[in-house]
Amino acid sequence: MTTLSDLVDQAEATRLATGFTFTEGPLYHPDGFHYFVDVREAKFYRIRPGSPAELLRENTGEGNGTTFDPQGRLVLCEGGNRRVTRWPADGKFASHEVLMDRFEGKRLSRPNDVVCKSDGSLYFTNPGLRIPLGERELDPSAVYRIMPDGTNRHVADFEYPNGLAFSPDERVLYVANTRHTAYIHRIEIDSAGNMVRRNIFADMSSDEKIGVPDGMKVDVEGRVYCTGPGGTWIFAPDGTRIGILKTPEVPANLCFGGPDMKTLFFTAHTSVYSLRMKVPGLPGHPFRK
């Protein structure tokens, strides 16, 4: 049976930068750097190995989850602005387009995380419990899909959907449920991108006081990495828990990166960290240079 020591190649995580309020939205760029956000401060950063974090944008509308589309354009969940936007691939972020801010005429709640399928479809979570009841137009919370042609569809309802990740073959979409019940859901997707069936993949209930099921990524062998109570929980493809990775701060999200995709990059509240692994991960999007 696989253990944490079979996966981890570094004794302790390395702190890369600190002094933030609440970091999120980690995303590795093939040019060798990471993007991340400070949600509470509505700021967007880039960090290169051995260099301090660079502030690239302010006033992101409490930008949170990020991904790339197949053309390398940045997609951002703007929770405070209640919309999903797309930014140019030139890295200047001087303009943007709104991909979705309403579903069937009703305003989105608070888009949280987003993942891009290889066909260009974007799946994102839209939790509503942090929106005052009188301002909530879409209920219950759900996962939605933005098609490559710009049309959108409802995928599945949830209590409080948060992080998302696809299995290596993209036949399964994992969804972390943050509030009420702590678990990861498993949604089987057909060739058209529609839900076929769903079930509980893993229970993440815990007595730990810090952390909830949140950001997720998958390695090339199908293991699921989900930030949660006390650290980052790692599950085998069948849902068996392998262990919990501990870092100096409990992370809210993570991504794989580096030239060999064997470096985990954590956004952990006030700081960002890295940790070398033995097994490469999936990028979580189809963009390649």
Check residue 130 and give its pLDDT: 86
Check residue 234 and give its pLDDT: 98
For the whole prediction, is pTM greater than 0.95? yes
Check residue 180 and give its pLDDT: 79
Q: Does residue 109 have a pLDDT over 90?
A: yes
Q: How confident is the model at residue 289 (pLDDT cuts 50, 70, 90)?
A: confident
Q: Are 266 and 272 in contact (CB under 8 A)?
A: yes
Rounded to 5 degrees, φ, ψ at 6 are: -75, -20
Residue 68 CA to residue 247 CA, distance in Å, equals 27
Q: Does residue 19 have a pLDDT over 90?
A: yes
Q: Does residue 127 have a pLDDT over 90?
A: yes
- The token pair at 232 is 């980052």
Q: Does residue 160 have a pLDDT over 90?
A: yes
Segment 240-269, tens digit of pLDDT: 999 999 999 999 999 999 999 999 999 999
Segment 42-85, tens digit of pLDDT: 999 999 999 999 999 999 999 999 999 999 999 999 999 999 99
The vertex-64 CA angle with 29 and 223, nearest 5°, equals: 60
Residue 33, CA atoms < 13 Å, CB-side half-sphere: 13
Residue 263 CA to residue 236 CA, distance in Å, equals 19
Sequential DSSP letters for 212-260: -S--EEEBTT--EEEEETTEEEEE-TTS-EEEEE--SS--SEEEEESTT
Domains of the chain: 25-216 (2.120.10.30)
Sequential DSSP letters for 35-100: EEEETTTTEEEEE-TTS--EEEEE--SSEEEEEE-TTS-EEEEETTTTEEEEE-TTS-----EEEE
Residue-averaged pLDDT of the chain: 96
